[in-house]
Amino acid sequence: MDLVTQLLSDLVRIPSVNPMGRAGATRADGFFETDVTNYLETYLTAQGVTCHRVPVSPGRDNLFAYYEAPNPGKRLLFDAHQDTVPVEGMIVPPFGAHIEGGRLYGRGACDIKGGLAAMVLAFLRLVRERPKHSASVVLALTVDEEYTHMGSSAIAKLPPEGIDLAIVAEPTRFDLITTHKGAVRWKIESRGTACHSSTPDRGDNAIYRMSRVLHVLQRHAQELQGSTPDPILGAPSLSVGTIHGGVSPNVVPDECVIELDRRVIPGENPDHVPTLVTEALRLHLSAEDFDQLAFHVPWVRMPALRSSVSSSTLEILSQCVARQTGRNPLVSGVPFGTDAGPLGQIGIPCVVLGPGDIAQAHTKDEWIDLDQLRYAVDVYFDLACCLGAS
Ligand SMILES: [Zn+2]
């Protein structure tokens, strides 16, 4: 087995499931990145590389390593996240790393332990060979990409100095992604007065109130669809994803809660988006209904990415990809968010680039094509060599 397949197998076998906000999640049950961080630190240290762990939240550390090129030149950030989405509903063993038909199966194989393994090995090859005109590389292995991007947000607050370009590993089939949507997620709660359901007029039904809220939100979502679209990503969107309310059919409910997902496009400020929704509700609901709503603070506020990568840099990256994979990559945008959102927001030019297809990410039989995986090591190494002198 080649090195990158071996490393990916090891990483898939170590659970690093993002708890995605669920209460009571523990490391013993496979949640959090700690075990993968420990493994990667040991792996890199054994190759003579000094690692730095930076705590982001309890038990969740970003891991950094540094390659200083022999000649001063460009400085790259290699970003890959250590966490995966949960494993419920999977029809392959999530931590089995089973190989069949040129594919490796398991949670994270595609998103993005494959890209992470390739970045680590490209980084180690740079350290070993020290190519004359290579770029310097800061390797940043982040936590919590799949939920709130705590890891890359922490990097954006205290970024390494002098980064000319961030390469963010995500499954893009080596297409060069320079723009993507961002997301804001928050809860709205409606309140009422509980009473026995045999005399509902004595109470105030919070679910009925929420139904009026939903009516306004649906109209707001339709208006967003008709708003000025981004030329690549299209219009912003709003979706209500969950609703919870009531305790029993014979009790008039005094509480109902929904969770909203608002996708933002470049130019929209994610901090302002909840206010627009609140204002739409204030305008279209009765004062009595509006006064019985509570608006929670968003737990996801990820900006959209519109990266300012020069055409000459994109040309070099395209050539590296074509040379290593035999396919000319597209330069385009995607609807999903990545670690590049917070990095792009502080002005670091970002390209999202990695092996595997997003169609296989987060799926019940997640897998990565092993040819893509092997190409990835060469693509990341080659681009560090070519960009250094550019
Ligand atoms: Zn990912």
pLDDT digit string (tens) for 5-27?
Answer: 999 999 999 999 999 988 999 99
What is the 344 CA–ligand 1 centroid distance (Å)?
Answer: 16
Per-position b or e across 78-116, b if 16+ CB within 10 A of its CB = bbbbbbbbbbeebebebbbbebeeebbbbbbbbbbbbbb
Q: Judge if 42 and 97 occupy the same domain.
A: yes
Picking from 302, 322, 357, the residue at the C-terminal end of a domain is: 302
Give the pLDDT of residue 371.
Answer: 97
CA-nearest of 336, 229, 224, 235 to 277 is: 224
Structure confidence by residue, pLDDT tens digits, 191-227: 999 999 999 999 999 999 999 999 999 999 999 999 9
Give the pLDDT of residue 33.
Answer: 98
pTM of the model as a whole? 0.91
Give the pLDDT of residue 336.
Answer: 87
Tally of CB atoms within 10 A around 273: 22
Give the pLDDT of residue 214.
Answer: 98
Give the pLDDT of residue 335.
Answer: 85
What is the 34 CA–ligand 1 centroid distance (Å)?
Answer: 17
What is the 104 CA–ligand 1 centroid distance (Å)?
Answer: 17
What is the 289 CA–ligand 1 centroid distance (Å)?
Answer: 40
Q: Judge if 120 and 219 occupy the same domain.
A: no
DSSP string, 272-324: THHHHHHHHHHHHS-HHHHHTEEEPPPSEEE--EE----HHHHHHHHHHHHHH
Q: What is the largest CA-CA distance in the chain?
A: 82
Place of tokens 């509480």: 255
Q: Judge if 358 and 275 occupy the same domain.
A: no
Q: Judge if 362 and 277 occupy the same domain.
A: no
Place of tokens 């770029």: 135
Q: What is the chain's length?
A: 390
Question: The domain that contains 294 carries what CATH number?
Answer: 3.30.70.360
Structure confidence by residue, pLDDT tens digits, 226-282: 999 999 999 999 999 999 999 999 999 999 999 999 999 999 999 999 999 999 999
Give the pLDDT of residue 341.
Answer: 94
Q: Judge if 163 and 207 occupy the same domain.
A: no
pLDDT at 162 over 90: yes
pLDDT at 389 over 90: no
What is the 362 CA–ligand 1 centroid distance (Å)?
Answer: 9
What is the 170 CA–ligand 1 centroid distance (Å)?
Answer: 5
Q: Judge if 280 and 369 occupy the same domain.
A: no
What is the 146 CA–ligand 1 centroid distance (Å)?
Answer: 7
Cβ–Cβ under 8 Å, residues 124 and 44: yes
CA-nearest of 215, 189, 193 to 205 is: 193
> Amino acid identity, residue 235?
A
Q: Judge if 124 and 140 occupy the same domain.
A: yes
What is the 240 CA–ligand 1 centroid distance (Å)?
Answer: 23
Q: Judge if 228 and 313 occupy the same domain.
A: no
Indicate the average pLDDT of the chain.
Answer: 96
Cβ–Cβ under 8 Å, residues 326 and 174: no
Instruction: Band the pLDDT of 59: cuts 50, 70, 90.
Output: confident
Cβ–Cβ under 8 Å, residues 192 and 204: yes
What is the 92 CA–ligand 1 centroid distance (Å)?
Answer: 19
Cβ–Cβ under 8 Å, residues 349 and 316: no
- Quick one: CA torsion of 67, 71, 75, 76, rounded to 10 degrees? -60
Q: Judge if 113 and 186 occupy the same domain.
A: no
Q: Say how many domains are in the chain.
A: 2
- CA-CA distances (angstroms) from residue 165 to 192, 274, 319, 346? 52, 31, 17, 12
What is the 203 CA–ligand 1 centroid distance (Å)?
Answer: 46
Peptide bond into 112 cis (omega under 30): yes
C-alpha triplet 117, 143, 244: angle, nearest 5°:
125
Cβ–Cβ under 8 Å, residues 137 and 49: no
What is the 116 CA–ligand 1 centroid distance (Å)?
Answer: 10
pLDDT at 175 over 90: yes
Cβ–Cβ under 8 Å, residues 345 and 156: yes
Question: The domain that contains 171 carries what CATH number?
Answer: 3.40.630.10
Mean pLDDT of 297-320: 95
Q: Judge if 290 and 317 occupy the same domain.
A: no
Q: Judge if 93 and 37 occupy the same domain.
A: yes
Give the pLDDT of residue 61.
Answer: 98
pLDDT at 144 over 90: yes
Q: Judge if 19 and 133 occupy the same domain.
A: yes
**Rg for the chain, CA atoms, rounded:** 23
Rounded CA gap, 315 and 135, in Å? 16
200 Cβ contact list (under 8 Å, min separation 6): 252
Picking from 280, 302, 324, the residue at the C-terminal end of a domain is: 302
What is the 281 CA–ligand 1 centroid distance (Å)?
Answer: 34
What is the 47 CA–ligand 1 centroid distance (Å)?
Answer: 26
Instruction: Band the pLDDT of 72: cuts 50, 70, 90.
Output: confident
Cβ–Cβ under 8 Å, residues 52 and 360: no
Picking from 256, 276, 302, the residue at the C-terminal end of a domain is: 302
Domain with 294 in it: 182-302
What is the 201 CA–ligand 1 centroid distance (Å)?
Answer: 50
What is the 182 CA–ligand 1 centroid distance (Å)?
Answer: 14
Rounded CA gap, 322 and 318, in Å? 6
